[in-house]
Chains A and B, each alone.
Chain A
Amino acid sequence: MNWFKYSSPQTFYPLAGRMAPWFMGVAVVLALPGLYIALFAAPTDFQQGDAYRIIFIHVPAAWMSMLIYMVMAFWAGIGLAFNTRLSSMMAHALAPTGALMTFIALWTGAFWGRPTWGAWWVWDARLTSELILFFLYLGYMSLAAAIDDPRRADKASAVLAMVGAINVPIIYFSVKWWNTLHQGSSVSLTRAPSMVSIMLTGMLVMVFAFWAYSIAAALMRVRCEILERERNAAWVKELGGS
């Protein structure tokens, strides 16, 4: 099988069109039981009461915000290094979803912080670095949109994406490196998770739902991106004519 077959916009366009509805379907199928566990099946927490339930949205969104940025920077870097058109389009397609996830993480975090900490917002390392991530997404999108020549826009925004990638490990380890108001991570690779299994199950189901949604959204957006950029190509004209 030739893996590079799908690296051209023309062949990837129909493939993305076939895959996107499936991922969207998976997202819905996972989100329904996920929300059921989150709102009904999971027990009330011993110290935060029901306020903790926002974790089922907050943590998946926060994880996705960091992961999408790494994937975006990866594709932007591939596009910069190998001059492949589709990778740069993929990077552009991921940015709005990443920005959305970052915004959800910040927004739900504020609603979680008010009843538990007693503040909507504090300037601690975790919150501040996540806010910087939000601005990085916005900066990436505006830079890409501000340059008319798409190939130059790809290059400039790719540099910004890769430089900004340094922020992601800072967000992740901020609660370890510095004294922060934000608590440490409940789930990590090095030790057992510090939540009961039903809560963990609900959170992981929601994480996979967010994954599927993000992939579906990125695929749909990359299709638009392909059409826009390749509008003068013969196959797109054929597509429009038929």
Chain B
Amino acid sequence: MKPRHKRIALIVAGLAILGIAVTLVLSAFNSNLVFFFTPTQVAAHEAPQGRNFRIGGLVEKGSVKRQPDGLTVRFIVTDTARSVPVTFTGILPDLFKEGKGVVAQGKLGADGVFSATEVLAKHDENYMPPEAADAVERANKAMKESRKTLVKP
């Protein structure tokens, strides 16, 4: 074995060991690296109890209600399977909208209401002009309409 071959073999072996180590560490960290918990995870008691964590999901349509003080907002975060009511006092980000993604940080109360100290909007990776977004929505609606008449439930 030439010294160069020995060196290359050592490098390859070193990198392989490192790769295995990182894989193991990452899989061990897996649950701790999540930025937020979904309402389903909260319902399954996977979220930490009695301390701050973040929940993420969609703002349920028609659920945003402003309280009379003008600053407090109540809304429901859903992952379409489960949902969690949230209350928040403060300024919401511009992209906070019904039907859109949201991540809220705070504590889950005993009454099951999540009182948030910070609300962040989570947007998706789709970019298009408003006209295109309208067209997509119209097409979806038309498809639903035609399905209603074409498919008997």
Contact = CB atoms under 8 A, between A and B. Distances in A.
Interface string A107-140: 0000000011111001111000000000000000
Interface string B18-39: 1100100010001001111110
B35 A183 contact: no
B7 interface: yes
Interface string A40-51: 000111111000
B70 interface: no
B35 A180 contact: yes
Dominant secondary structure of chain A at its interface with chain B: loop
A194 B122 contact: no
A178 B33 contact: yes
Interface string B69-106: 00000000000000000000000111111001001000
Interface in A33-62: 43-48, 52, 55
Given A119-B120, A124-B35, A46 B130 contact: yes
Contacts of A177: 26, 30, 33
Given A116-B95, A117-B95, A181-B35, A122 B120 contact: yes
Given A81-B4, A117-B95, A118-B92, A45 B119 contact: no
Q: Which residue of B92, B95, B125, B134 has the most chain A CB atoms within 10 A of its CB atom?
A: B125
Interface string B28-56: 00100111111000000000000000001
A166 interface: yes
B68 interface: no
A194 B38 CA distance: 24
Contacts of B119: 118
Interface in B91-140: 92-97, 100, 103, 118-134
Q: Which residue of A81, A118, A170, A184 has the most chain B CB atoms within 10 A of its CB atom?
A: A118
Q: Which 9 A-B pairs have the closest CB atoms?
A: A118-B93, A43-B129, A46-B133, A124-B35, A195-B127, A186-B125, A183-B125, A46-B130, A179-B34
Given A178-B35, A179-B37, A183-B123, 9 more contacts: A80-B7, A81-B11, A83-B4, A117-B95, A118-B119, A124-B35, A166-B22, A177-B30, A178-B34
